[in-house]
Amino acid sequence: MLIVIENLLPPEEVVQFRQQLDQAEWEAGSKTAGEVARFVKTNQQLPDEGELAVALGNHILRKLGNHPQFVSAALPKTIYPPKFNRYAEGGHYGIHVDSAVMQLPGQRDSLRTDLSATVFLSNPEDYEGGELVIEGKFGAQAVKLNAGDLVLYPSSSLHQVLPVTEGARVCSFFWIQSLVRDDAHRELLYDLDQSIQAIRVECGSQHSEVSRLTGIYHNLLRQWVEC
Ligand code: NI
């Protein structure tokens, strides 16, 4: 399932991000691609260990932690420190699947990539092309969101970024190891939680069926969670 979270960053924060990112020194993305991906990746990335990437990444992580829809959809156990990329002048990333395991920077631990996320930091009218095309059960979907919006998709999906033929596409991207490994289980929990939240608004959180459904949610989560 592909989940869009609108306005993770409000417009004024996107402007602040872009002011800093547009002055940053970018490096060739092929430096960090795997053996296969190296031949299909022609974009630019911000050095991960740089002060700017760390500061902006931490800001995104704080936003994610306080975002109920993100937490419900991803059930995050570990989030990879957000990275930043820029596509311009025909830059693209051909079809690939993200690596299953990522070494966490500066740590011994690694992360299993259950979910991949992209936060758009350019408005769609500011560049031509650059769609993130994600292959799913129901075919390929082209994603091009407003600046500040996030898309979340299973890391097992084949995906690509189409060439940016005009302007620049700036994004943040990262991976999540979820407390619930199985995409189907995680989707059921997300759908159930969204329904409970809607019923809670309709009937009030004191309603006995809201309590029963919340209990079912937690009992399902207990079946599937990996801590
Ligand atoms: Ni990818």
Same domain, 104 and 168: yes
Same domain, 89 and 111: yes
Q: Are 144 and 131 in contact (CB under 8 A)?
A: yes
Same domain, 116 and 133: yes
Q: Which domain holds residue 158?
A: 3-178
| d(CA 192, ligand 1 centre) in Å | 29
pLDDT number for residue 37: 60
The total number of structural domains that make up the chain = 2
| d(CA 60, ligand 1 centre) in Å | 19
Give residue 36's pLDDT band: very low, low, confident or very high (50, 70, 90): low
**167 contact partners, CB below 8 Å, separation of at least 6:** 88, 122, 126, 127, 128
| d(CA 93, ligand 1 centre) in Å | 8
65, 99, 130, 134, 144 from 125: Cα distances, Å: 30, 31, 11, 21, 10
Same domain, 162 and 108: yes
Positive/negative CA dihedral, 48, 51, 54, 57: negative
Low-confidence winner among 40-44, 82-86, 126-130, 171-175 (lowest mean pLDDT): 40-44
| d(CA 7, ligand 1 centre) in Å | 22
Structure tokens at 19: 């002011």
Sheet strands side by side (includes 92-96): 41-42, 92-96, 159-161, 132-136, 139-143
| d(CA 1, ligand 1 centre) in Å | 16
Same domain, 114 and 192: no
Find, among 194, 196, 199, 202, the residue nearest to 216 by Cα: 196
Same domain, 115 and 218: no
| d(CA 215, ligand 1 centre) in Å | 37
Q: Are 132 and 82 in contact (CB under 8 A)?
A: no
Low-confidence winner among 38-52, 82-96, 122-136, 198-212 (lowest mean pLDDT): 38-52
Same domain, 62 and 154: yes
Domain stop point among 178, 196, 215: 178
| d(CA 159, ligand 1 centre) in Å | 6
Residue 12 in this model has a pLDDT that exceeds 60 = yes
| d(CA 16, ligand 1 centre) in Å | 26
Domain stop point among 178, 199, 215: 178
Same domain, 21 and 111: yes
User: E-strand spans in 23-91?
Assistant: 27-28, 41-42, 44-45, 76-79, 83-88
Same domain, 160 and 53: yes
CATH number for 155: 2.60.120.620
pLDDT number for residue 32: 65
Give residue 137's pLDDT band: very low, low, confident or very high (50, 70, 90): confident
Q: Residue type at 104? A: L
Per residue in 15-35, pLDDT (tens digit) is 999 999 999 999 988 766 665
Residue 42 in this model has a pLDDT that exceeds 90 = no
Same domain, 99 and 196: no
Same domain, 163 and 215: no
Find, among 120, 102, 118, 99, the residue nearest to 110 by Cα: 102
Give residue 218's pLDDT band: very low, low, confident or very high (50, 70, 90): very high
What whole-number distance in Å separates Cα of residue 162 and Cα of residue 156? 19
Parallel, antiparallel, or unpaired for β 159-161 and 132-136? antiparallel
Mean pLDDT of 199-222: 95
Residue 75 in this model has a pLDDT that exceeds 80 = yes
| d(CA 35, ligand 1 centre) in Å | 14
CATH number for 208: 4.10.860
What residue has token string 């809201």?
210
Helix (H) / strand (E) containing 165: strand 164-178
pLDDT number for residue 8: 98
